[in-house]
């Protein structure tokens, strides 16, 4: 079995440190109105926090709070609305000993979230919004730079690649350069291939097969393929529930190639898989 040992590095998340020499699970916490019965209301907030605490108990070391729907064709959420969804949940989670990332592209949202106790900026738009680079540099926080083309509304027509892996690497390198030039510290940068974003099923699988090539960029890698459509294609299954095992396998194959973080809905199953993998490595 070919091993890709993770380099010794620590991600500084405020007072908390994440040891990136071992894999971590980032639990997905959607706070869009469709995800918890009354998004934004007290009841919705309590349900969201309870779900996050369950994911922590199941083995998540990071909770990724997202208040914007990034579905293909989704409408843009007003900044104030996003803040109202995200901040109350971040405030509650900050009382617990867990790293908090926020899935947003808006500088105003991440500024408010960091003030409320969040630690990491997870941006599917790779800090392309006005003032995003400057804000990340000023906040001096870890940032996840994900590969995408266009916007969630337009990305489905933007899947023309020469070589999907080499093109994703080159386009990530451009965003890394922009980040470094804006004064973002290298030690604060993580990268993400952006599974499902401006890529068709075949391209997502190729990218998974060749994910190890992203190690050449020199930054920690996050893999996020949980329950995505290409998993359904691969396992010939329609429902989201039928994508869980494929997602766990895809994440473990990412870890085997050097990813140190996986963004997952099904934390308990993912944690079992990682424990099995670690047990094998230590044998």
C-beta of residue 66 within 8 angstroms of C-beta of residue 31: yes
Q: Which residues, in sequence order, are bridge partners of residue 262?
A: 25, 223
CA distance readout (Å), 255 to 86, 101, 234 = 29, 20, 19
Q: Which of 228, 229, 243, 268 is catalytic?
A: 228
- C-alpha dist (Å) from residue 139 to 28, 88, 112, 113: 23, 20, 11, 11
Q: Is 263 a catalytic residue?
A: yes
Q: Is 111 helix (H, G, I), strand (E, B) or coil?
A: helix
Cβ count within 10 A of residue 206: 17
The answer to whether 176 contacts ligand 7PM (rule: CB under 6 A) is no
**Cα–Cα nearest to 213, from 263, 147, 274:** 147
Q: Would you count residue 70 as binding ligand 7PM (CB under 6 A)? A: yes
Query: Is residue 146 a contact point for ligand 7PM (CB under 6 A)?
Result: yes
**Does the footprint of ligand 7PM cover residue 263 (CB under 6 A)?**
yes
Q: Which tokens in the block code for residue 165?
A: 């892996």
| Coil vs helix vs strand at 263 | strand
What is the four-CA torsion angle of 56, 59, 65, 66, rounded to 10 degrees?
Answer: -140
User: Residue from 124, 176, 184, 207 that binds ligand 7PM (CB under 6 A)?
Assistant: 124
Active site residue 111: no
Quick one: which segment of 12-20, 132-140, 157-165, 187-195 binds ligand 7PM (CB under 6 A)?
187-195
- Least CB distance to ligand 7PM at residue 149 (A): 14
Catalytic, out of 199, 227, 243, 263: 263
Site size toward ligand 7PM, by CB under 6 A: 16
Distance CA 228, CA 18 (A): 26
Residue 70 beta carbon to ligand 7PM: minimum distance, rounded to whole angstroms: 4
* Per-residue binder mask for ligand 7PM (CB under 6 A), 200-239, x = binder: ----------------------x-x---x-----------
CA dist 23 and 25 (Å) reads: 7
Q: Does 103 bind ligand 7PM (CB under 6 A)?
A: yes
Choose the stretch contacting ligand 7PM; rule: CB under 6 A; options: 12-20, 43-51, 188-196, 207-215.
188-196
- Build a one-symbol-per-residue string for 11-50: x at contacts with ligand 7PM by CB under 6 A, - elsewhere: -----------------x----------------------
β-pair partners for 221:
191
Identify which range of 135-143, 190-198, 204-212, 239-247 contacts ligand 7PM by CB under 6 A: 190-198
By CB under 6 A, is residue 71 in contact with ligand 7PM? yes
CB nearest ligand 7PM: which residue?
Answer: 224
H or E stretch covering 43: helix 42-58
Residue 71 contacts residue 107 (beta carbons within 8 Å)? no
Active site residues: 228, 263
Residues that bind ligand 7PM (CB under 6 A): 28, 70-71, 103, 122, 124, 144, 146, 192, 194-196, 222, 224, 228, 263
């Amino acid at each position: 079995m070919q091993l890709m040992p993770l380099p010794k590095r620590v991600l500084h998340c405020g007072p908390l440190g994440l040891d990136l020499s071992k894999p971590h699970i980032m639990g997905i916490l959607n706070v869009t109105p469709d995800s918890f019965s009354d998004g934004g209301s007290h009841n919705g907030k309590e349900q969201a926090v309870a779900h996050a605490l369950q994911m922590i108990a199941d083995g998540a070391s990071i909770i990724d709070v997202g208040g914007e729907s990034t579905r293909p064709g989704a409408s843009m959420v007003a900044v104030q609305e996003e803040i109202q969804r995200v901040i109350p949940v971040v405030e509650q989670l900050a009382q617990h000993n867990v790293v908090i990332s926020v899935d947003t592209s808006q500088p105003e949202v991440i500024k408010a979230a960091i003030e409320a106790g969040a630690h990491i900026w997870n941006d599917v738009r790779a800090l392309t919004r006005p003032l995003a680079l400057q804000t990340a540099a000023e906040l001096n926080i870890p940032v996840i730079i994900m590969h995408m083309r266009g916007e969630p509304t337009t990305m489905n027509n933007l899947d023309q690649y020469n070589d999907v892996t080499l093109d994703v690497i080159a386009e990530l390198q451009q965003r890394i350069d922009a980040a470094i030039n804006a004064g973002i510290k290298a030690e604060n940068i993580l990268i993400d291939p952006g599974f499902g974003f401006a890529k068709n099923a075949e391209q997502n699988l190729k990218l998974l097969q060749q994910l190890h090539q992203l190690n050449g960029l020199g930054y920690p890698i996050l893999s996020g393929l949980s329950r995505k459509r290409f998993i359904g294609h691969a396992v010939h299954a329609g429902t989201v529930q039928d994508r869980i095992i494929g997602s766990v396998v895809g994440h473990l194959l990412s870890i085997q190639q050097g990813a140190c973080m996986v963004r997952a809905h099904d934390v308990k199953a993912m944690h079992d898989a990682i424990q099995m993998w670690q047990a094998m490595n230590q044998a």
